[in-house]
Amino acid sequence: MKYIARELTENVNVSKSHPLAELAWLAGGLLAVVAILYLSLWWVADRIVPRVPVQVEVWAGQQLMARFPNRPDPQLTERVRNLVRLLPAASPLHRYDFTVSVMEQETVNALALPGGRIVIFSGLLKQIESENELTMILGHELGHYAHRDHLRGMGRGLGMTLALAMLFGQHSQVAGMASNLLIGMEMRYSQQQEKSADAYGLDLLVQTYGHAGGATDFFLRLADQDEGKLAYLLASHPHPQDRIAGLRKMIARQGYAVGPTVPLPETLVHQSRECP
Amino acid sequence: MEFIVNHLDLSLFAVLVTVGYAAGTFAERRHYASILSRERAQRQFQVMNAEAYFAEGRVKNSFMVSGSAVISIDYFKRLLAILRNIFGGRVKAYESLVDRARREAILRMKEEALTRGADMVVNLRLETAAIGNAANRRGRIGSVEVLAYGTAVTLNKT
C-alpha cells in the first residue's frame, strides 16, 4: 500500500463560530431568563407580602438579624412607641416591637429592617434640628412598615439569590456577586413607595403636634447642601425638592395648619453632636 | 470609578475575563500556527493507529514512544462553558483546547520517534485526562491533558 501524505486544510473538530458571538447569545439568553424570573418574583412578592403575618416577619427578622448587635437607643425607641400609640387600634403596626438604634456612619439615611428594627445613621441625626423633623422621619420609616415595603424588596432579593444559587451552585462566585448587587439594589424603594411613606409620616406628625410645622425643614436643608456628600440619599430617594413639593401639596390638600417647631431636647442634641 | 471600588469582585471578574479572552486568543493563534507548521514539516512521517503486520525480517527494532500536552482553560472559556451548563449544547469553547492538546501530543510523540530514528509509528493510542477537575468545583481553573503513545518501528532497508 502506497502512503500518500495529504495535508488537511479544514479542521472539523473545532466549531467555526466566533467566541464573542457565542458569549453574546448565551449572556443575552441568561439575561432574558433572569429578567423573566425577576418580573415573576415581583408579581408574586406583591401578592404575598400583604398577607404575611407580622409574627412571621418578626420571627424571620430575628433569624436574619441575629448576627448584628442591636443596641436600641432608649430615647428614640420611646419616641417611636409613642407614635405607634397614636395609630388606630386596627393598625398592624401594634404587633411590632419597634426598636431604634443609631449607627455610626456619615450617610444621611435611615433603614427599616424586618421585624421592626429601625436603624438611623448618625449622619442623618446630625442634620435634624427639631423634634418635629425627627417625628417626620420616624413616621416615614413607620410608613414603610405599614405598607410592608421592606418585605417586598427583601422577598425579591431573596428569591433572586435563591434562583441564582440554584443555577450556578450555592458557593459559586457568580451567585455571590449577583446577590451582593441585588440585595444592595433591593434595599431601595420606588419613588411611589417613598411618597406614600412621606404621607404616612405627615399624618403622624400632625396627630402628634396638631400641625404640620417642620415637615419640610429637613428636606429644605438637604436641598441647600451640595449633592456630593448626600449622593446616597439622593440616589435611593426622590430629590428633596420633589419631596418638599409633594409634602406641601399634601399639607394644602388636607388643610393642615403649619405651626412653630419644638427644638430637640438637650440630651438628643448632645448625642447627635457627639458622633464623629 | 466609585462603581469599580464598590464592586471590586465584579470588576476583578471583568478584568479576568478580558485578560482571559485577550491572552487566550493570542496563545491559541500562536499555538495553531506552530502546530500547522510542524505538522507540515512531519507530514512524510507515517503514524497509524492500526495494528501493523510486517513481513519477517522487515522490522529491525521497535520501542514505545509517547508525547503529552496539558492545555489550560482561561476565564473567558470558563465563562462560556458555565453559560453552556445552563442552556446545554456543544461546549464550543473547549473544542479548540482538546484539539490543540491532541495534536500537540501527537506532534511531541512524533518528535520523540524521529529523534530516536524511527521510520514509522504504529498502534497509536490517545488518552485524555482532566487535570484540576476536583479543584474546578471551588472555582479554580482546570486543564486538559492528552497523552499520545504508540509503537515506533525502525525498518531494515530493502
Gap from A229 CA to chain B (nearest CA, Å): 13
Average pLDDT for residues A235-259, to the nearest whole number?
Answer: 82
Q: Are B44 and A174 an interchain contact pair (Cβ–Cβ within 8 Å)?
A: no
B144 or A161: whose pLDDT is higher?
B144
CB pairs under 8 A between A and B: 63
Chain A within 8 Å of B48 (Cβ-Cβ)? Answer: no
Chain A within 8 Å of B130 (Cβ-Cβ)? Answer: no
Domain range summary for chain B, segments of one domain joined by +: 2-155
What pLDDT, in 10s, does the model give residues A53-62? 888 888 877 7
Q: Are A3 and B10 an interchain contact pair (Cβ–Cβ within 8 Å)?
A: no
How does residue A82 score in pLDDT terms, banded at 50, 70 and 90? confident
DSSP states along B66-95: EEEEEEE--HHHHHHHHHHHHH-S--HHHH
What's the rounded Cα separation, in Å, for the pair A204 and A220?
20
Residues of A in contact with B99 (CB under 8 A): 11, 13-14
Residues of B in contact with A173 (CB under 8 A): 9, 13, 139
Q: Write out the three cell numbers for A187.
A: 434595599
Across A156-170, A219-233, A245-259, B51-65, the highest mean pLDDT is recorded for B51-65
Q: Minimal Cα distance from A21: which residue of B? A: B80
Q: Is the pLDDT of residue A185 over 70?
A: no
Percent of chain A with pLDDT over 90: 3
B41 or A261: whose pLDDT is higher?
B41
Chain A within 8 Å of B21 (Cβ-Cβ)? Answer: yes
B60 or A261: whose pLDDT is higher?
B60
How does residue A85 score in pLDDT terms, banded at 50, 70 and 90? confident
What's the rounded Cα separation, in Å, for the pair B129 and B131?
6
Q: Minimal Cα distance from A171: which residue of B? A: B138
Q: Are A22 and B87 an interchain contact pair (Cβ–Cβ within 8 Å)?
A: no
Chain A within 8 Å of B141 (Cβ-Cβ)? Answer: no
Residue type, B97: L
Q: Is the pLDDT of residue A178 over 70?
A: no
3-state secondary structure of B30: helix
Mutate to test the interface with B, among A11, A16, A36 (most CBs of B within 10 A): A11
pLDDT (0 to 100) of residue B112: 96
What pLDDT, in 10s, does the model give residues A30-81? 889 888 988 888 788 778 877 888 888 888 777 767 666 677 888 888 888 8
pLDDT (0 to 100) of residue B138: 55
Chain A within 8 Å of B41 (Cβ-Cβ)? Answer: no
Residue of A3, A26, A180 with shortest CB distance to B87: A26
pLDDT (0 to 100) of residue A97: 84
Tally helices (H) and strands (E) across chain B.
Answer: 5, 4
A272 or A87: whose pLDDT is higher?
A87
* Strands B143-155 vs B59-72: parallel, antiparallel or unpaired: antiparallel
Average pLDDT for residues A205-214, to the nearest whole number?
Answer: 85
Q: Which CATH architecture has domain B2-155?
A: 2-Layer Sandwich (3.30)
- Residues ≥6 apart with Cβ < 8 Å to A264: A128, A129, A130, A131, A134, A272
A59 or A266: whose pLDDT is higher?
A59
> To the nearest whole number, what is the mean pLDDT of chain A?
79
pLDDT (0 to 100) of residue A275: 44
How does residue A276 score in pLDDT terms, banded at 50, 70 and 90? very low
Average pLDDT for residues A176-188, to the nearest whole number?
Answer: 63
Residue of B10, B82, B92 with shortest CB distance to A22: B92
Domain range summary for chain A, segments of one domain joined by +: 20-274
Residue of B77, B83, B99 with shortest CB distance to A14: B99
Q: Write out the three cell numbers for A132.
A: 418635629
What is the maximum span of chain B, computed from C-alpha positions, in angstroms? Answer: 79
Is the ipTM above a cut-off of 0.85?
Answer: no
pLDDT 10s digit of each residue in chain B, 158 long?
666 666 777 788 889 899 999 999 999 999 999 999 999 999 889 999 998 888 888 999 999 999 999 998 888 998 898 888 888 888 898 999 999 999 999 999 999 999 999 999 999 999 998 887 654 555 566 789 999 999 999 999 86
